[in-house]
Structure formats: C-alpha cells, structure tokens
Structure 1
Amino acid sequence: MLALDIVIERGTRTAGGFRRHVRIADDARVIALAGHSGAGKTSVLHAIAGLIRPREGRIEVDGRCLFDAAAGIDVPAHARHVGYVFQDARLFPHLTVRGNLRYGRRTGGSTAFAFDDVVALLGIGALLRRRTANLSGGEAQRVALGRALLSQPRILLLDEPLSNLDQARREELIPYLQRVRDETSLPIIYVSHSADEVERLTRAVHTLD
C-alpha cells in the first residue's frame, strides 16, 4: 500500500520551478506515474527515496511512515530501504558486473534477495566477469536492477528505465521487469512516458498534471 499526500516545491516559478500537490492512495503492488515532462514524476520518486524533502505532507509505504512533516518524521535516505533504478544504469566502470552487484549488496538484517537468486532472476550469470563498458543498454539496466534488488529494498523505484534503449532492447528488458513484478513481493513505482510499456506492467496508473 502506498499512501502519499505531499506538496513538493522545486525552485521558483519565475526560474522554471514548480509547486505540486500529489495525492496517491493505492494498494496495487505496481503503480505507474504518468504525465508530461516537468509534471514532477521524478520529484515524487526523489521524495519517496529521501533525496528531496517535501514542503509538507506524509509518505507511507506498506504501513511504514517515511515522512510526516506535521509529526517531524523524516527517515534518512540510507534507512528507507529504497531500491532505485535510473534512466541510465549508473554502473561503476572500474568494476565488473559481479563487482557492481556486490557493491549494492546490503549485509546484515533482511536477506530477502540472495545473490544467486537475483542473478538467475535477471539472467545475468554469463555477464558476471564482464566490464560494464562491454554491456548493451539492456544488459546494463538488468545489472542496475540486480544491484537495486541486492540492497534488500522494501520498495523499488524505476525512473524510465527503458527510455534510453532502442525498441529491440526495450522488448528484451520488459520480460525481466515482469519477472521482478511476478516473482517478488516488492511494491514498485514505475515512471514512463510509454502507455504500451506501462500497460504491460500494471493497470494502476496515476497521472500528474
């Protein structure tokens, strides 16, 4: 369950900033955020992840309060247990695929996602010894997704993970996103401009004006 009622301010309107009041209450496990460029979709993800602080409001994920302005609650980003996959994979070029995956691995506490299970889920076993410069865009995003899962998140945020890929690579990656949706119990928030892409992952769509 995602319960979110926040006001986000970025910059000033005269300088191209905005103020958005975003309200979402949905028990779907995969929620898509849609809307035009500049509507604040990425800002909502950043607010959930703790990368920006809402002006006011409350954020709750599966009954766990991450932010409540009135109550003075603002859980630090590193303690929110958020897995985040960006438009670009943001892999470390000096590490192999295995090194990138292990870098993201959280030790201690919950181990819901084991290394070998994540590698099998995403079909990246053959890539473990490769350098990231030798990966295709789709392969790099699968590694980024694996790294996010190995951080043992309680929620997964996907910010247009297919937007930098050509159509063939998109078709290659979507089945893996569907596997993550179907084979894990993680709440997922997915941002995309593609209606077809969203439709293949969820029916729960919230449009930001």
Structure 2
Amino acid sequence: MNLSVSIQHRFAGFTLDASFETPNGVTALFGSSGSGKTTLVNAIAGLLRPDQARVQIGDRLLCDSDQGLCLPPHKRRIGYVFQEGRLFPHLTVRQNLRYGSWVSGRQRDQAGETRVVDMLGIGDLLDRRPGALSGGEKQRVAIGRALLSQPLLLLMDEPLAALDEARKAEILPYLERLRDETDIPILYVSHSVAEVARLATTVVLLGKGKMLKCGPTAQVMSDPALAPAIGLREAGSVLTATVTAHHADGLTELAAAGGQVFLPRIGVPAGGTVRLRIHANDVMLSLGRPGRISALNVLPGKVTSIRSGGGPGAMVQLKAGHDQILARVTKRSATLLGLEPGSEVFAIIKSVSVAQADIGARNQSMAKSDTTT
C-alpha cells in the first residue's frame, strides 16, 4: 500500500516543505535534530493542521487542503508509537493491548491478537502491569497496542531513543519481524544511521525542513553527495548478502553481489539473507588485488564517482556487482592512485570491522526489494 505525502507549513523561523511517495515496507524519515521529522509525522497523524497538505494511504485520502478535507486523528486509522511506551499504568499488558481495538471501535480479532503477541514475544507479559516491564518490553507492548487498532499506517517516532544499547539490541529483531511479517506501511522516524540501515526499505532524508532525497535505502545511504547530511563518520553502504556457510574457526561466509564476504559468526542459518552496513571509514582501496594481507574481504569494483569536501578527505563510490560501496580516503590517496570514474579498484574490508549491530535479518521478499535500485 503506497503512502503519498505532500506537506507545507510555516513556523516562525522554520518552514517544512516535503513531498514524497513510498511503497510498502518501512520508510525511514531520517535527518539531524531540527530537520522536521516529528513535525512531519504529527501532520500526517492529524495532530498538526498544516498550511497546505495532501496525505493518501493507498486509495484512502486523509487530508487534502485544496478540497477542504482534513480528517481528525481518530478517523485516520493511524497507529502511533512514541519514544516512551505511554502505557496505562493501571491496566495489565493484556488490557493495554485490547485498548487499541476498543478505541478503534472495531471488533476484537482474537486470531490477530494471538499473532501479534507471538510476533512481539510478549506472551509471558500479559498479566503484568507496565511498572514491572523493562523499557524494551514496554515498547513492544506499545507496538502491539498500535497494531491491534487495525491501522492503515503505523507511525513510529524514534521508538528506541529512550532505550540503552542492550534494550535496543533486544527490540531490533522484533522490529525486523514487524517489517517482514505485516503488510502495514510503517513510517519510522530516526536520526540513527544504524537503525535506518538495518530496518528501512525506503529512506526520506530531511534537512532543515526540506526533503533532500527519497529512494531505496541502499541507494540513498551510499550516495556520496549525501554523506555530509548523513554524517561523514556515519556514511557508508548497505549490502544484502546470503549466508552460505558457518566455519569451524568462528567465521560466517556470505555471498554478496560483489563477491565473498567473511564476518564473525552471526546467528542466521545457511541460506538466510542479511543486510550489512559497511562504514566508509572501514574501506581501503587498492589498484591491484592485494596479497598476503590480514583482511579477508577483497571485492573488485569500478569507481562511479568521487566527491571531495573542504577538508583533506574524499568520498569514493564504487560499484561491486549491483552493490554501491563507499570508501572514505584522503584526497592525496585518491590523487596518488589516479582515481577517476571508471577506475578499476579492489575494496578491502576487515571482517571484524562490521559490528553485530550493523547486521540485520531480511526475508527473501524484502531482500529482493533491496536489489531493485
């Protein structure tokens, strides 16, 4: 179900002007603090009435200022998950979950409730009250409550921002299941590159209230022109690969579009599909295939663009198979190597440089969407 958004709104000293259309899956609204992410989702939810707006989910029009149409929030069929769970403290988890269907005025779906409880792994929490839950557990319950209101769209406004790293690692696999096992479009607000690279199928990049780019995650995240907006230290590539083997020495072997990749063992069975985030700072370039080096991952590719900033660095984009890989090198290195579009190079990536937090599971149907860029 496609989501079509066009919103313009002026505040004192700030103007929001963003228009985009995205397919099903997780669309990440990404940008630095103050870029307009939360304002945009509040306008979509109907919590803010913008100066000009048109919002449509599938064939259902929620707002069109030209037609004088602006449905109130409770009639938009949108589930909203905030940074904090905002659960009712006097109700049990089961009662909190059922509140979603009650407030929507729709008949309770027992089968759907069971499916959501299983998907989010909250079956053993049903009789507890929110005060007895961890931060990650509260967020899973809040997501379940939103889903059981039978929404047409799920808005998630930095749902992991209030959690520590351990709780984030706990809940991310559940968000991946939510993405892969439901057909509800999700608009996910974040300024975390790691979350976006792991979860999103589409990225809408915002800067100072303007849309800078909208497109498939791998395409947007590996665009060297967007590296300053994403953050030079966070810039990198998103690759999709298939697990081919787990070796006795603790390494997992994967097949990526550009070649063979080895990582420290990951918990995905052979044949499974994963998404990898490779930092541009962790990629070295060589004109010839290097020999007798410790790095196991050497991928051949061809330079597609080079972008230099005001400092000593340069961002080099190369194509390896159908994947785009970014490498951050010095301008001096790029000059010494004689790099230019069309240069054939080898990207060298240390196995241990890819953190577990930068590896996410993908089901087969979603993996196919990653390669259609």
Distance 2:70 2:111 in 1: 26
Evaluate the alpha carbon distance shift between residue 133 and residue 95 of structure 1 in structure 2; reply closer, same or farther with a 3 A threshold: same
- Say how many residue pairs are matched: 204
Give the C-alpha shift of residue 38 in structure 1.
Answer: 1.4
2:113 counterpart residue number: 115
- TM-score normalised over the length of structure 2: 0.53
Distance 1:190 1:113 in 2: 26
Give the C-alpha shift of residue 50 in structure 1.
Answer: 0.8
Task: Please give the residue correspondences for 1:28-177 in structure 2 after superposition, counting only pairs within 5 Å.
Answer: 28-105=24-101, 106-108=104-106, 111=109, 114-177=112-175
Which letter does structure 1 place at the counterpart of 2:146? A
Evaluate the alpha carbon distance shift between residue 110 and residue 29 of structure 1 in structure 2; reply closer, same or farther with a 3 A threshold: farther
Larger helix proportion of the pair: 1
Evaluate the alpha carbon distance shift between residue 109 and residue 74 of structure 1 in structure 2; reply closer, same or farther with a 3 A threshold: farther
Question: Structure 1: which 5+ runs fail to align?
Answer: none
2:190 counterpart residue number: 192
Distance 2:111 2:7 in 1: 31
Give the C-alpha shift of residue 9 in structure 1.
Answer: 2.8
Larger strand proportion of the pair: 2
- TM-score normalised over the length of structure 1: 0.92
Distance 1:110 1:195 in 2: 37
Percent of paired sites with the same residue: 51
Alpha-carbon RMSD across the aligned residues, in angstroms, is 1.6
Evaluate the alpha carbon distance shift between residue 113 and residue 208 of structure 1 in structure 2; reply closer, same or farther with a 3 A threshold: farther
Distance 2:95 2:38 in 1: 28
Give the C-alpha shift of residue 127 in structure 1.
Answer: 0.3
Distance 1:69 1:207 in 2: 24
CA offset digits 1:173-193 (Å, max 9, x no partner): 011111111111000000111
2:10 counterpart residue number: 9
Give the C-alpha shift of residue 111 in structure 1.
Answer: 4.9
Contact 1:113 1:152 in 2 (8 A): no
- SS of residue paired to 1:208: strand
Contact 2:29 2:187 in 1 (8 A): yes
Larger gyration radius, structure 1 or structure 2: 2
Which letter does structure 1 place at the counterpart of 2:117? V
- SS of residue paired to 2:199: coil
Question: Structure 2: which 5+ runs fail to align?
Answer: 208-373
Runs of 4+ displaced beyond 6 Å: none
Which letter does structure 1 place at the counterpart of 2:89? P
Greater length-normalized contact order (CA 8 Å, ≥ 6 residues apart): 1
